Structure 1
């Protein structure tokens, strides 16, 4: 009953009458966002300007039946009509690099095929049980390391690499820690994320980039809704969000609470007995504020703010003594503000952000009491110049200042700076080449340089899209690598990764697409912690080779049937040990289907991952047995005059298969969850 007054208040606030709204995104044919598009309402002659990621928002008393035109220099214009069921639009513009005048087209059907340059996951493709494992069903090559239970630390990596090589961005704020280089996904509530995108390489001018790409969590838009759920292992949660369209802008506010008891049975490896894994309790509270819009015809802004607080038990290794007292408390606060412009001198943006992360860990069995506090402030500026018709120079600069206070490192600070210059050369109507030079420095070290090159184009009546990427990336040592006591090594060299990637997407017909990626990544000076006489210490000792391919297909016969398939093959080798990398699977297979009939929707996911090496030579290599999981969801959808109601039941790990994503941390078996979502229309 404690949450009943809050629920009633939220319902009253959420579903008060608001003006109608339509949101959308403008993309190029290859899937890259079209920066600063102009959207014109042909009925009332009003207009809005999208942001640098192509998002735009329209609001008014009645938008049904009105026609809008989309314009952007370098693209052919498009005109569409808004129906009474339209709430979100995805519009693809055709490139027109030679002509810089706007040309309106009547009745053009927008392309809806998936993007090759940006793998995008929309909210409706998720089951309501959203967690890190959900991403594995949609992004080929992703590997999850999770330390068992709902509240465990979760990290993601791509193509068998370290989690530090995958940059993760929420809104305008980079999340990778200066302390250890990783991101703990359990701190991020997925109900506060609007869309998830993967970029194999950062867009030109963006300061965030990793050797294995960028995973971007967009918080640009949250619907007005309330969601409540309960399920196995003591799960219960409530969250609500409210979107408020304003004149030429919008504000979204969301918040929620989640609680899991989390205790479950697992089979102990030494005697095969089934025992209860305890101390898995998890509580999370969060609040998020997002906004965006335009100031004048040529200027836009965006705000991202998120605060989360977690309390969790830490059960420890499955073969260690039973631990029912260890716990961890952590808090994440972030704020990011972006502002961009579009003038006759070009377009660009300026961004500032700050992030604070506090953690406290207590283990009374081993008398460990550890706390840390990390703070980061970042500034970035970039601009693109329309100097020539066939050449578009682009420059950027970013500055990151961070500090860390922990018992293991003491008080440390770090300053990172990065500058880049690129130029996109239009080689033809459907072909372009972009070389880029990047210079960066860390702390007091000298500047280092790296490069990237991108060649992309469309062929065969624009049904085949090709993207060739080549370049190198440096990952500098973390603060733990350099200053951890005992064992920190301030003389570590940065890791260097050289990569060559070919991406291809073919669209044989409407509603169908195929994609293929072939890649090779060679790394040297990899940082690894190795045992010393009495402790572990980091050293540059490894050279690694990674190569493989990813393939997939998507087919949609109609709005009621969607099928997706992907397969990943990965060959990794530690050139010193002549063995595959730890935790790098050779094969991954994903099959996803959505079937709708009247008010019912059935979603099903199958995920297979081959065995991996957990540990080397103890006395033999320790391998896991691989994993196969099946998740399914049945949802009932009912639409009223003002709201849409969805009642769903999700069962994950349907066949109760037992597996570990990290050695010594067994995952739970079958789980179920019931969720009620009430969403306001418009």
Structure 2
């Protein structure tokens, strides 16, 4: 790695750079997903997400062309460096379609830009209803849940690639470097888009395409270096990222009156990314992308039962080839995606030496059409093969076939409906129907939506085939849910209120048997939640965003709150910008949680408030220094029982970004 990085930096300088543009494509106030934005000087292209958002290489003065089935082709120059809004009309009269959002853009409640200098905990803590669970330190596993649910009920996707491990149904976010996380969106049709494991929703991660050099150093022996560059010509663009992260990780802790030092917490990570996008012609677009990460980490174990010599090495490799073909009123898509991972875990203390190799290969065909101006129909056919080869299971594969059909239509100018069905079938174990339907009504400065649906999670390889204990006759977990969401604009502020209700049955729970633990479809839960999000300008140079969630959960089997489901959570973010200095403070509150049902008293974790903050100083338009302090009150807390989190830590970063070129004359 140390020999490769200087070469990447030198190549970056010699071959030139392509800055980045960001924006939204809309029709009035309605976002337009699946719009294709082509950067004309290079032929590089990207597609808007379900919120109409896009990011692409490009500079002020460059020409971009926007294609969208059902709309006329648009071409215009990029007028500003700020995020842009591209307004598409069915019958455009002029080409003046690009407008500037400016710095006072509306608070986003489903779409979040990742800010420089902030770690994953701070970033996810700013998203309403999100809980991050880590096992103490940078090397611990990191999983995410929504509304106090199971982590296996939240789908996480990176650049359209599903990160879920078919072995345990989880996504370990520690395998995705922060360098490759630029934006996070909460999916609105997760049950239809992703099926199994999206009961509570989805987090859709997008990486940046802009060239950048990052170097950071900090507490606990942490150092990282990462570079991203791109090369472009008139036929397309190629982007390459590479980097390394290292942390000694050991830290002092205090827990229940005892103190000590967490050891064997080291974490070494190397990673790369590759993306190549090409515009063949005005109808045909091709993309190839890949991500690879390698992790070597110590496993410190529970604080009351440490594992001083446990170690794990794991690799993650993602690849996708995607092609779009567009003709008037139709968009066809084809993609082939692979996810491969390997894990080797050694713990000599308990004579454990295990290997787990997994692969997921998926073929997807899609078709979107607009038979009428007010109706859009989307259909997808997917074939997915999941395989495992493990020391704890046999070598096993399964093939899952999926068909989904959704329709969105504008009933009136302000009222729209989106409904859909999805059918998943695995030959020998299950077949499941999924549905979702919702209405949205737009008003002058507000909107309200009512949505309901049915979601599921099919059993994992561990549930079905773990030796000993796996049970091959398990049923899929099932959840019925409903949600009401209201957004309103109040001058310089925005308020969001979301009400949700979920009832889950056939949840898989491992219980003791005669000789070993075994999974059963026995658990039932219900959750009712309300989330308030409020943000805007506090004073002239200070903006704020805050959210609060009340979650009333119950494990119906034991008539108690669900484990790891706090009744109250919230956060407060303050941010200021004055000339060349940007400052921020983030506070996160987590309520009391039951971690284990017991008698006469349940085992609980105490509530906590953690504050972090930082200052970014822009020396030149290209160079920024960032200082951040995490947990600056040195709070003792845990997100998973038995795994203390680090105390106060510091990080100093250097960031180089090229400045956009001036507008062409």
Q: Is the 8 A contact 2:589 2:608 kept in 1?
A: yes
CA 1:347–1:208: 2 relative to 1, 3 Å:
farther
Summarize deviations over 1:461-485 as a string: whole Å, max 9, x none: 2x21222211101111111101111
TM score, norm. by length of structure 1: 0.89
Q: 1:237 aligns with which of 219, 224, 229?
A: 224
Map residues 136-535 of structure 1 onto 2, 5 A cutoff: 136-202=124-190, 210-219=198-207, 221-247=208-234, 249-269=236-256, 272-320=257-305, 322-459=306-443, 461=444, 463-509=445-491, 512-535=493-516
Q: Distance in 2 between matches of 1:69 and 1:187?
A: 35
- Is the counterpart of residue 602 in structure 1 residue 580 in structure 2? no
Match of residue 33 from structure 2: 34
CA-to-partner distance for each residue in 1:144-179, whole Å, 9 max, x for gaps?
Answer: 221112101111111111111111111131111111
Which residue of the other structure, out of 673, 676, 679, is the alignment partner of 2:651? Answer: 673
CA contact (8 A) 2:191 2:198 kept: no
Please tell me the root mean square deviation across aligned C-alpha atoms, in Å: 2.8
Q: Match for 2:638 among 660, 663, 668?
A: 660
Contact 1:77 1:93 in 2 (8 A): no
Task: Kindly indicate whether residue 47 of structure 2 is the aligned counterpart of residue 51 of structure 1.
Answer: yes
Deviation at 1:652, TM superposition (A): 0.4
Paired residue for 2:556, among 557, 564, 575? 575
Say if 1:528 and 1:292 are closer, same or farther in 2 by CA, change over 3 A: same
How far is 1:277 from its partner? 1.1
> 1:419-471: CA deviations, max 9, x gaps?
11122222012221122111111241353222110212311x2x212222111
TM-score (norm 2): 0.92
Q: 1:492 to 1:30 in 2, by over 3 A?
A: farther
Name structure 1 gaps, 5 residues minimum. Answer: none
Q: How many residues align?
A: 654
Give yes or no for contact 1:265–1:276 (8 Å, CA) kept in 2.
Answer: yes
1: CA distance, partners of 2:640 / 2:596: 10
From 117, 120, 144, the equivalent of 1:128 is 117
Residues 1:587 and 2:581 are matched in the alignment: no
Distance 1:115 1:410 in 2: 50
Give distance in 2, aligned partners of 1:210 and 1:360. 28
Cα displacement (A) at 1:357:
0.6
- Report the more deviating stretch, 423-432 or 327-336: 423-432
SS at match of 1:186: helix
Once the two structures are superposed, what CA deviation does each residue of 1:486-508 show, in whole Å capped at 9, x if it has no partner?
11111111111011011221123
Q: CA deviation at 1:73?
A: 5.7
Once the two structures are superposed, residues 37-96 of structure 1 have per-residue CA deviations (whole angstroms, 9 ceiling, x without a partner) of 46798xx9x99865253536465xxx645786857466799997644x62x6342537x6
> Contact (CA 8 Å) 2:19, 2:210: kept in 1 or not?
no
- Residue correspondence of structure 1 range 64-79 to structure 2 within 5 A: 64=60, 72=68
Is the Cα contact below 8 Å between 1:187 and 1:308 reproduced in 2? yes
Task: Name 2:13's counterpart in structure 1.
Answer: 15
Q: Is the 8 A contact 1:14 1:225 kept in 2?
A: no
Aligned counterpart in structure 1 of residue 532 of structure 2, from 534, 551, 561: 551
For residues 172-211 of structure 1, what are the alpha-carbon distances to aligned partners after superposition, in whole Å with 9 as ceiling and x for unaligned?
3111111100001111101023322111433966667711
Deviations 1:518-559 (A, max 9, x none): 110111111111122332111111111011111112214799
Residues 149 and 174 (structure 1 numbering): CA distance in 2 closer, same or farther, change over 3 Å?
Answer: same
**Structure 1 range deviating more: 203-212 or 230-239:** 203-212
Tell me the secondary structure at the aligned position of residue 280 of structure 2.
strand
Between the aligned partners of 1:454 and 1:657, the Cα distance in structure 2 is 43
CA gap of 1:568–1:104, structure 2 versus 1, over 3 A, is farther
Query: Is residue 78–residue 104 contact of structure 1 (8 Å, CA) maintained in 2?
Result: no
Relative to structure 1, is the Cα distance of residues 6 and 487 closer, same or farther in structure 2, using a 3 angstrom cutoff? closer
Instruction: Tell me how far 1:34 sits from its aligned partner.
Output: 2.8
**Residues in 2 aligned to 1:508 and 1:239: alpha-carbon distance in whole angstroms:** 41
How far apart, CA to CA, are the structure 1 residues paired with 2:514 and 2:29?
A: 54
Whole-Å Cα distance in 1 between the matches of residues 298 and 192 of structure 2? 42
Q: Contact conserved, 2:70 with 2:329, CA < 8 A, in 1? A: no
Q: Provide closer, same or farther for how the CA distance between residues 119 and 479 of structure 1 changes in structure 2, counting only shifts above 3 A.
A: same
Check conservation: 1:235, 1:262, Cα contact below 8 A. Answer: yes
In 1: Cα distance, 2:459 partner to 2:220 partner:
39
Query: 1:254 Cα shift?
Result: 0.7
1 CA distance for matches of 2:475 and 2:69?
A: 44
- Once the two structures are TM-superposed, the CA of residue 12 in structure 1 deviates from its matched residue by 2.5
Alpha-carbon distance in structure 2 between the residues aligned to 1:282 and 1:576: 39
